[in-house]
Amino acid sequence: MSFYNDNAKEYIEQTIKCDMSQLYSFFEKKFSGVKSILDIGFGSGRDSLYFQNKGYDVISIDNCVEFIDYGKKIGLKKTILLDAENMNYNNEFDAIWASASLLHIKKEKLNNVFMRCSNALKDNAIMYCSFKYGDFNGIRDYRYYIDLNETSIHDYIKGTKLKIIDYVISKDVRDNNETKWISFILKKVVIDINYGYKSDVKDELQDPDKFSKKLKETHAYLWSKELPNGNKMELIVKNNRIISIGEYSFDFAPDSITNSYKNRPQINAFLDKSKNILEYRKLDYTIGSSIIFPVKDDEGKSNRTINQARGCIRQLSDRFDYALECIRLFYCDNSIYTPLRDCLKRYSNFFDLFIDFEGYVKFFFLDDLVDAEYKKVISFTGKFDFGNPIPSTIEEYEYYLKNNIEFIEKRNKRIKNSL
């Protein structure tokens, strides 16, 4: 920090009047009930003063004495001489702002600092941080820098509860400076396996698969992990879409695994007699009852997706166990006919990520829907009848619901244990 202590006055003059309005907006658009903000490495105090003047409770930390003195001079209410490597806040802040401050943290210490940031945030709170864009690591302009990009940051947030929910690449806000910057919005994602994502839509007519942002963020968090092929899947939610970044280029959409068929006349006729339907509804649209499929096929086309096909093909009638049996047979021999075969072929690049059926099942925590050898799919109705997939009697329906309930409960536990 000797550089900033020695050059504090010049740094303040260079940065105090920079127009940060677009980045403030980028950050504040993600706000939800934000009251308290931690500004890490507040420097000239420009950003702390902006948030303070908007009514937020701002704590401003920096390890440069000159900046502390200047912050008090311009009216910052809460300034603390402290660096990010030594802060020990726990579940205290609704948001963190770290503009161009963590980029001086040594590479080997950056993960620990992100861990401290994660600890400082409340559950599902957000963090802004910015770095110079690139892959440089070393001394530049008399200071240590670590540059990051949309892929490399994952190495440093690994093991934390922080997940990228958005990022933007921009030019330097200082005049006559062509340096590229990358700004991230991270979220401390805490998954509640009992949360029903229907609570995240405006009314019961809206489909959470399409309208629940929380559901998409949860999927992006869960499936950002190592693939069976040894590579890493990195997902974010951007423009209301789940997209992969880095090595792969996929768009994904959530899809419900289960279906109560409440709108089918043959089911509606005895729905009020069901003993299991209320328990089923408690679990419907918890994370254990949802999965993702790619939106675009290998050629980049989005007509007749897997989601659509399994819902529209009568032999499947939106039965996920039936779709999983088709996927199993596809991995065994993609020339074997199933009602979903031709559709699955168009998404071969996606299924190749998992090597084989066992890899696919384990990745998505579907183990309780297959046998121990991963050679047989367990039907919710005890059998596979592609001619008549929908239960036709109250007894069959109750058995179907019971197996759905048990599967969702077990999958929710698997997801919880993986976190």
CATH number at residue 110: 3.40.50.150
pTM above 0.95, yes or no: no
Query: Are 143 and 277 within one domain?
Result: no
Q: Are residues 18 and 99 in the same domain?
A: yes
Residues of the domain holding 316 = 197-418
* Statement to judge: residues 258 and 143 lie in one domain: no
Q: Specify whether 162 is located in the same domain as 240.
A: no
234 and 113 in a single domain? The answer is no
In this predicted structure, what is the pLDDT of residue 259?
Answer: 92
What is the model's pLDDT at position 362?
98
CA 103 vs. chain centroid, Å, equals: 24
Q: Are residues 154 and 242 in the same domain?
A: no
Same domain, 182 and 203: no
In DSSP terms, 38 is beta-bridged to: 59, 96
The backbone torsions φ and ψ at residue 38, rounded to the nearest 5 degrees and listed phi first, read: -100, 120
181 and 52: one domain? yes
How far, in Å, CA of 296 to CA of 298, rounded? 7
Averaged pLDDT, groups of 10, the chain, 419 residues long: 78 91 95 94 96 98 95 97 96 97 96 98 96 95 92 92 92 80 95 94 90 93 93 88 88 94 89 92 94 95 91 95 97 95 96 97 98 97 92 95 97 94
> Which domain-ending residue is among 140, 165, 188?
188
- Identify whether residues 183 and 226 lie together within a single domain: no
pLDDT for the residue numbered 396: 95
In angstroms, the CA 11 to CA 318 distance is 61
* Residues 120 and 204 both lie in one domain: no
Looking at residue 175, its pLDDT comes to: 65
Element (H or E) spanning 359, and its range? helix 357-363
Where among 188, 221, 244 does a domain terminate? 188
pLDDT score, position 136: 95
> For the chain, what is the domain count?
2
| Statement to judge: residues 7 and 135 lie in one domain | yes
Q: Is the dihedral of CA 44, 96, 115, 79 positive or negative?
A: positive
For the record, the structure tokens of 298 come out as 């290998």
* Amino acid (one-letter) located at 375: K
- Measure Cα distances from 83 to 39, 66, 96, 251, 397 in Å: 11, 14, 14, 39, 60
The pLDDT value given to residue 174: 76
Which of 147, 163, 188 marks a domain boundary? Answer: 188
**Residues 132 and 170 occupy one common structural domain:** yes
